Structure formats: C-alpha cells, structure tokens
Amino acid sequence: MAYSDKVVEHYERPRNVGSLDKSSEQVGTGIVGAPECGDVMKLQIQVDDDLNIVDAKFKTFGCGSAIASSSLATEWLKGRQLDNALDIKNTDIVKELALPPVKIHCSVLAEDAIRAAVRDLEQKLESAGKLPKKEAAATAGE
Amino acid sequence: MSKRVYLDNNATTPMDPRVLEAMMPYFTEKFGNAASRSHAFGWEAEEAVETARKQIASVIGADSKEIIFTSGATEGNNIAIKGAAAMYADRGKHIITEVTEHKAVLDPCGWLHQNGYDVTYLEVDREGRVSAEQIQAAMRDDTILVSIMHGNNEIGTLQPIAEIGKLCKERGVLLHTDCAQTFGKVPIDVNEMGIDLLTVSGHKIYGPKGVGALYVRRKRPRVRCEPIVHGGGHERGMRSGTLDVPSIVGLGAAAEIAKSDMASDASRVSGLRDRLMKKIQDACPEVYLNGHPTERLPTNLNLSFAFVEGESLMMGFKEVAVSSGSACTSASLEPSYVLKALGVGDELAHSSIRFSVGRFNTEEEIDHAAERVVATVEHLRKMSPLFEMAQEGIDLSTVEWAHH
C-alpha cells in the first residue's frame, strides 16, 4: 500500500508526541479505540485561563495513517480556542493527508479523540465553575 | 533508500539462476508440445517433462507416474479436495480439515460444504498444531478425506503428518497434505507418512510461478480425482491442458536442487532465522514468537511486538520486505485468522510480523533487518499509549476500551 507523502512525513517526524499531566484542571484527555481493533489514540489538550489551547499531545497505537491523523490533529488544535476545537472534522484530515477509503476510520478515530479530550476538559471546567453546564446533546456523535 | 532486503520467502522466492538456465532452451529451440507423439519436437518436450516428473517424485519418495502437473498449489489443492470428494462421494461426504489451512484449502472445502458435503474444521492449539487424536475423534463412517497442511505459511508450524497418515491408513480414509511450504525444505516420504495426495508449488522453491505439482498415489490405494478442468485428457485425465514445458522443466530443476541441498539449506536458513530472532529479542522486551518453538519451518519467524501495530512497523522498515497479520494490511480490517485461531488475542495479531528467510539471504541482510526492526519498535513504542500504560503498571486486559 502506498502512503501519501504527508502520512509518511507525520509518521517519520510525528508532531507533539508525549503526555500532559492528566490530573491537571487545565488538561483534557481522550482515549479512544481498542487494542483488539488495532488502534488506540490518546489525545490531550491543555488550555490557559482564556481557554486557548496552548498545548496538545498524542500517543497512538495504530497504522501509519492513524499516527498521522492524530499527529495532524494535535498540530491543528494548538493555538485554537477550545470552542473551535470541534470544528476539526475527519473529512478535513482525510483531505489533508490524502487518506484512501480503507483508512477513513483513522480520521474518524482522530475526530473522536478530539471530542473525548474536549469533553473531559469541559467536565473539569464545569465542576470548577469555569464553564456553564452544557446540555447532554453536546456529547452526541458517539 | 538503503539496500532492499527480501524477507518474505514464504510468499514467494526469487528464482534460482540454475533453474532459469535449465528452462531457457524450452522457450525457444525446444518448443515442442509434450503431447505431440508424431515427431521429435514433441518427444524432446515429453522427455523433459518426464525428467521433471522424476525429479519431483524423488523428493518425496514417490514414483514419477504419481506426479501430475498443475498451475500451482491453489489448483493442486482444488483438484485434490474437490476431485477426491467428487470421485468418492458414493463412499461418504465428510471431510476433515483445520481452521489454519490456506484459503486454497478452506475455500474448496467451503464450496463442497455448500454442495452437500459435511466439513469438520478442527481447532488448533496455542502453537498451531492439531493432533492425530483430534482427527480420530472427528472421523465418522462417512469420512472420505482428511486435508491437513504440512507447514503453515503464516506461523510455520509443522503438523504431525506421519501420525495423521498412520491413522488415515488404519481407517481407510484418504490423506491430502498441502506441502507448498515444506516440499524440498523438510524431509517428506509419502509412503512412510501415509500420504495419498500432496500439493507442491513451484515458486516457493526458487522455481517459476504459475506451475506446481500434485502427487496422486497409484498403489495401496489407487487414488483418482475427478478433473476440474476437462479437455484433452492430459495428466492421467486429472488435469487437461497443454503442459507448460519450460515451467515444468524449471520446477523439476528446482526440486532437484532442493533435494540435493535440503540439509545444508535448512540449517543455514534456520541459522539466519534464529540469528534474526535473537538480535531482535535481545534488544526489545515483550516480543513473542507465534507458532511452535521447534516444530516449525526452517524459513519462518512470526513475531508479535507488544504495544505496536504491525502495519506501522512495516512502514518503519520499508526497505525490509516482510508481511503482517495486522488487520490494516488487509481490505477486510480483520486480523489474520491463523493468529486468531491460536488464541493469542487480537491485539497480538495486530502486532505481528512474519519474517521468512530464504536461500539467498545473507548474514549482513539479517543484521541490517534486525537493526531496522529494533529502531522502529523503539520509535513506535515511544508514541504508543499502550506501552505508556504498561510502563505505568496498568494491566491492559482490565482497561475498558471505547470500542468503535
């Protein structure tokens, strides 16, 4: 299977590999996938007091396309407002990385990981009173 | 890109130059049809075909009349299974095979199942083996055929064919064995092992692609297979079609070389394979061997690299040609059914790589491959959330994963 140059580039020089302190009030963590399915993504975001995403990290068990999708997601997340994090859609990732149809699930997983990290952080912020409580509908899409 | 290394010799092998040399005249000046009885062109071709038949028969202790030529192991397996099933349908319609067979055995069995036959698929143990006891327990009065491969293409496990053959003889049931991976590499004697039908592939033994052979026993008992391809009645009526003389000459030459070099080839190749395993395991923790530790093909090394996924591993050492049981390398997104059958867990199936060593690999190539594999495993484990969790002491089997 031939990979696009961008997938290869992210695989060889992944951006933002690592971990943030998951116990921090300003860090949201999303872990999606399962080892028996062949992909697990952990994606973390950190915000400042103005809810700007100041850092994003990932670790991924999966194929090159899964690694590239999560690497790209962290790149796109950094510098965004938390509110805009969910604007990143799997279709954007597919386009940017030129993923073939059989690899679209990798981009879906990356989008899921973003959602999971954002939700985790929002819950922390809500319980700390820094964010108003959201309706349950915000978590739809699972 | 640095020099390419070919470690996928269970998929196919490079042709031995000695084989090509033997074939060359049969493309040009010796072009006759082996079935032409009326002139020297035909006689010359027929003589070459008969020489190849002898060369192949001699590897497995058979008579040359018991060898028929095919287009490869897939066709050989189809003739053996569907052909024997059709020929002996009046005796019974039950066939026994195992879950880790090649698709070229499973699919003909599946087709028979859809057409009124009953097929028992035996499970294998953790190391990929079936036992004669399992086969005995599965046998019924209407069992006509047992098809168990000699050496598995993915995990290299060798089956106890001699024990199974003895049982089949006692019960008067035919035994077919797919020897695509073992012919010419592991000693085989059709009489000592009680084999009635045996499949051979050309391109797994440094011969040409598109040619193979099927051994069909002629005495005690005399075995017949209904043809799948009908026509001029070539190959004792079991496989019609003008013989591919150059390829058959190549297959014969490859068989002769395999026989004369079997012991030295096997020890050199298994030495390289063991060197590769040691170099990898010395440098990387949590690398597991799939298959049987000793009863295995000399060529095959199937390893699972915990916490990293197979396709991403292969991507890291692209210049080293291997294959993976990972889902991501197949269109179905299902991991290898062979590894799943061992019960190693889907996650280790996703993390598996098959290295298969051959006659033309060198120590330098093995060392280079080991180095690249180790570096890639380290690169990927650094970015693996599973490795991180394991390092933190989390038991991954207790984690509730968000399945998708």
Interhelix angle A5-12/A90-97, nearest 10 degrees:
100
Residue A2, pLDDT score: 77
Average pLDDT taken over every residue of chain B: 95
B326 pLDDT more than 80:
no
Residues of A in contact with B319 (CB under 8 A): none
Separation between Cα atoms, residue A18 and residue A20, nearest integer Å = 7
A 29-48 near B (Cβ less than 8 A): 31-42
Q: Can you give the pLDDT at residue A129?
A: 87
Chain B partners within 8 Å of A113 (Cβ): none
The rounded distance, in Å, linking the Cα atoms of B6 and A141 is: 45
Please name the member of B311, B312, B403 whose beta carbon is closest to the beta carbon of A37: B403
Q: Do A66 and B329 touch (CB under 8 A)?
A: no
Inter-chain contact A64–B311, Cβ cutoff 8 Å?
yes
The nearest CA of chain B is from the CA of A3 a distance in Å of 9
Contact A32, B358 (CB under 8 A): no
Active site residue B328: yes
Cα B404 to Cα B350: distance, rounded to the nearest angstrom: 16
Residue with tokens 């008992």: B221
pLDDT-based confidence at residue B320 (cuts at 50, 70, 90): very high
Nearest CA in chain A to B313: A63
Is B269 in contact with B182 (CB distance < 8 Å)? Answer: no
pLDDT at B125: 97
Q: Does pLDDT of B334 surpass 80? A: no
pLDDT for res B137: 98
Cα distance from B398 to chain A (closest Cα, Å)?
12
**The predicted structure's pLDDT at residue A1:** 59
Average pLDDT over residues A60-89: 96
How many other CB atoms are found less than 10 A from the CB of residue B279? 17
- DSSP summary character for residue B299: T
What pLDDT sits at residue B348?
Answer: 87
Torsion of CA B243, B245, B249, B255, to 10 degrees: -20
Query: Are residues B403 and A34, on separate chains, in Cβ contact within 8 Å?
Result: yes
pLDDT (0 to 100) of residue A136: 53
Identify the bridge partners of residue A93 per DSSP, sorted by sequence position.
Answer: none
Strand order in the sheet with A53-61: A27-34, A39-47, A53-61
What confidence tens digit (pLDDT) does each residue in B221-261 have? Answer: 999 999 999 999 999 999 999 999 999 999 999 999 999 99
Is the model's pLDDT at B353 over the cut of 70?
A: yes
Give B33-88 pLDDT, tens digit per residue.
Answer: 999 999 999 999 999 999 999 999 999 999 999 999 999 999 999 999 999 999 99
Nearest to B59 by CA among B189, B236, B199, B205: B189
Residues of B in contact with A116 (CB under 8 A): 402
pLDDT at B400: 85
Does residue B333 have a pLDDT over 70? no
Contact A33 B404 (CB under 8 A): yes
Residues of B8-46 as b/e, b for ≥16 C-beta within 10 angstroms? bbbebbebbeebeebbeebeeebebebeeeeeeeeebbb
B388 contacts A40? CB cut-off 8 A:
no
Say yes or no to pLDDT of A134 above 90. Answer: no
Report percent pLDDT > 90 for chain B: 92
Q: What is the pLDDT of residue A135?
A: 60
* B334 contacts chain A (CB < 8 A): no
Average confidence (pLDDT) over B273-290: 97
Closest CA to B8 of B331, B324, B313, B279: B324
Using the predicted structure, report yes or no on whether residue B369 has a pLDDT greater than 60.
Answer: yes
pLDDT at B61: 98
- Selected for mutation to probe chain A from B313, B383, B388, B391 (highest A CB count within 10 Å) is B383
Band of residue A142 on the pLDDT scale cut at 50, 70, 90: very low
The C-alpha atoms of residue B180 and residue B149 are separated, in whole angstroms, by 8
pLDDT at A141 over 90: no
Interchain CB contact of B350 with A (< 8 Å): yes
- B116-133 average pLDDT score: 98
Instruction: Count the neighbouring beta carbons within 10 Å of the beta carbon of residue B245.
Output: 23
Closest to B386 (Cβ–Cβ): which among A19, A35, A105? A35
Cβ(B320)–Cβ(B276) below 8 Å: no
Whether B2 shows a pLDDT value over 80: the answer reads no
